[in-house]
A = this chain, B = another copy of it.
Amino acid sequence: MINPFTDEYFMKKALHEAEMAFEKGEIPVGALIVIDNKVIARGHNLTEMLVDVTAHAEMQAITAAANFLGGKYLIGCTLYVTLEPCQMCAGALYWSQISKIVYGASDENRGFVKMGTQLHPKTTVVKGVLANEASELMKRFFIERRK
């Protein structure tokens, strides 16, 4: 039996969230939180619409997942996000003790790796999943915004 629930499978759904951000004129980043192959939270960047620097896709997904679980710790959960998390989001993920983070495109300037933000010691990280799709979407967004 083929397991359909691969990292790519869920990242495609996160990319769909990123496209929703794009359509709203937001920097296109999407996120998803999954437990036992079940999607329990979705989010996309809404910093412009909500006029709030904290409204990153990951932050919304973290809040929604905790809401769903009825507990603030995301142990056993995986975050899928199209772009490498920033300091703020990585800091929130640290507090959440999330088990796994899967991200698409790297953010060489403001991503948590370059910034040196610490994750929880129990969190594992997978990077580069559908990275080309995520960065193409970002590039398309910035080209259109310049017009």
Residues of A in contact with B (beta carbons under 8 Å apart) = 47-48, 51-54, 59, 62-63, 66-67, 70-73, 86-92, 94-96, 115-118
A139 to B78, CA, bound (A): 35
**Copies of this chain per assembly:** 2
Q: CB distance B54 to A92 under 8 Å?
A: yes
Residues of B within 8 Å of A63, CB to CB, are 52, 54
A48 to B73, CA, bound (A): 11
A-B pairs, top 10 by smallest CB distance, nearest first, are A88-B91, A87-B91, A53-B95, A88-B92, A53-B72, A53-B96, A51-B72, A116-B116, A54-B92, A52-B63
A127 to B59, CA, bound (A): 27
30 interchain pairs, CB-CB under 8 A? A47-B72, A51-B67, A51-B70, A52-B63, A52-B66, A52-B67, A53-B62, A53-B66, A53-B72, A53-B92, A53-B95, A54-B54, A54-B62, A54-B63, A54-B92, A54-B95, A86-B91, A87-B87, A87-B91, A87-B94, A87-B117, A87-B118, A88-B88, A88-B89, A88-B90, A88-B94, A88-B95, A91-B91, A115-B118, A116-B116
